[in-house]
Structure 1
Amino acid sequence: MIDILVAGGGYVGLSLAVALKHAAPHLQVELVDGAPATAWQRDERASALVAAATNLLQVLGVWEQIAPEAEPIRRMVITDSRTSDPVRPVFLTFEGAGTADDAPFAHMVPNRAVTGSLLSAAERLGVPIHWATSAVDFTTGPHATEVRLSSGETVNARLLVACDGVRSKLRDIAGIKTVRWEYGQSGIVTMVEHERPHEGTAEEHFLPAGPFATLPMTGNRSSLVWTERTEDAERLIASDDLLFEEELERRFGHKLGALKVVGGRRAFPLGLTLARAFVAPRFALAGDAAHGIHPISGQGLNLGFKDVAALAETIVEADRLGQDIGSLAVLERYETWRRFDTFRMGVTTDVLTRLFSNDVTPIRVLRDVGLGIVDRLPGLKSYFIRQAEGLSGHNQPRLLMGQPI
């Protein structure tokens, strides 16, 4: 019997396994994932890592490997306009460093860099990873969970952690219900090169169909998260390169010179999913399996890292006290730690999505006035930056504060 089986080899599953072995090397932690061992190498996406997530990765000893490919976000510009408008007025700007030590409040990093560094750490710490193998069913007993794998084998673990994505099958097997709805939008993700440097500036243009975000990458490159109505997104993904780049330029503008798409383009349906519970006896949810939110705030991945920090600390401290790490009493501490923050972020992104993904004139006027007010209040802007970097509030998990467990 092992101590912990992590189902899912993405950011959340890998970082949880590494965090547990880093803090408690004696724990037997294994990981299974249904994807092939090299699937992560084909991921062309990039993600925004806020300061709290960077702290976690630094403690785990992987940030140094990621840093050469990380681009700091030094300025955030927010506009609100129609695609056809000749001028895009700027309503809100966040400039400078967000953290007390003058570090940027976020970095953009290629997904491959993060995954590769975590895999190296997992190998260094001796975490067995079983690729092309998924957890397909489980039965919970008084002292262990018997997990059936797609290979036909079974594994007995004191705790099973599901990090298997927003449509988690393990969550369904556990009988955990969700609150879920779709927005009728899809997020188009791609990478572009431009003639002029972005100077670390990220921009979020609120357009009638949804936000169009340009995020700085190393060199003269930007990662795009382009929200459109689902039917329009599907049409754009299926279009030829000329039409796609023409539609992209209408939204991106010409301030950085000529554009060239340098990565593949994919579209992902957008919705809100919140698990009604995060735990059951000998079972816990983390990452997208517990919550899937709209990318309007750029916080989805960072919520997953918060889960990792809280769950790892809960498990390790319980183990040090000689408690049963799979007991409901222990796991409920993790749920209590994370439920409110997750619910708050889900509600916030839902309200922002509905508020900014429309072209109703009275609503546009009200939201633009609100953005202008925030822009003129330095104290309020500092509060929002602190929220964005993931370091606000009391009783934060140690890893997020840059402290070992």
Structure 2
Amino acid sequence: MAVTLDLSDPKTRPSGPAGMAEKPVLVGLTRPQMQQALAEAGIPEKQARMRASQIWHWLYIRGVSDFSAMTNIGKELRATLAEKFSIARPEIVEEQISGDGTRKWLLRFPPRGAGRPVEVETVYIPEEGRGTLCISSQVGCTLTCSFCHTGTQKLVRNLTAEEILSQLLVARDRLGDFPDADTPQGAIVPLEGRKVSNIVMMGMGEPLYNFEHVKNALLIASDGDGLALSKRRITLSTSGVVPYIGRTGEEIGCMLAISLHAVRDELRDELVPINKKYPLDMLLDACRAYPGLSNAKRITFEYVMLKGVNDSLGDAKELIRLLKGIPAKINLIPFNPWPGSAYECSDWDTIERFADFINANGYASPIRTPRGRDILAACGQLKSESERLRKKEREKLESLALEAMMIAGHGE
């Protein structure tokens, strides 16, 4: 049975006009950026490097979100830091727990510049021997993939490195992956004992359309003196933004996943419209040239199984032909239905025959077990609640305006 927890706190909800002054945020800054921010705040340059190292430790090893917990920094400096900077977590509006243990958080971030507060969804999937966190990179999406629920929401904006990284920090908070900040001499959570052992950039948005912020967040997540996730446990999924695929391997060095879903350009143009700009031949050439590609570092190709659309034996044969020479794994994803979708999931026998053919031709082809369907947390189901909330706000305002008109009319 799914459980929904309303964790919103009225005290943390944004108030006042959008665009009001905000404190600079230290989470998500690179070490040089943090040193510069501290120096600009009046900390002597000779101390800035040491202070940045201390803050880095508290943020990413201890997981604190309040400067007062940084006990090896003097009280006066802690007060100065709290006055000038923020390290607060985003608001958790809602937590949903699926019957299979999957968790989904709806997170609300404060306004940036003249914008509005925004919301994204983040999903945690517990599995035997590991736990995977699915992180969003944008609010909404521009790609309009026809089978994807997120694609029905227009892009609002890119997430910052801080907002991307904060999804990981919130998950570790909620799952107990950080040591107790009240006992700074206590044991640090061991690398093998983590609830969150893997992260995948497969949430809302196209990560490579937000490359610089995604890059900074993932480099911090994999930094050995902080969150220390192995780059082999970080996977970035793209629908095929070809110019950034090589840069992903060179500058981030993580594992790569491709949302493929079709083996013919005419069908992929419909399912994944970015294919019109970067067709299959161009995409697969970029995959063959991916830095560090080997049998030990394979590319994952994601293939959603759509009944009567892309699930024939002929599609399976063409998939083998297309991927020839690319060290690869093919994840078959049973389609996860969502309200208003025009597609159906392939029959289970069809999916198994498709997988058996691919396996027989030398490619690992696991069938992904649907997780979190009862809370719309499965692959392709994420969608921010922002639109629904804005609709409710508009309806409330319209109701109040109508009531005022009726009162005014009655007064006449």
Do these two structures clear the TM 0.5 threshold for a shared fold by scoring above it? no
State the TM-score, normalized to the length of structure 2. 0.23
Task: Give the TM-score normalised by the residue count of structure 1.
Answer: 0.24
Tell me which structure has the larger Cα radius of gyration: 2
Higher relative contact order (CA 8 A, sep 6+): 1
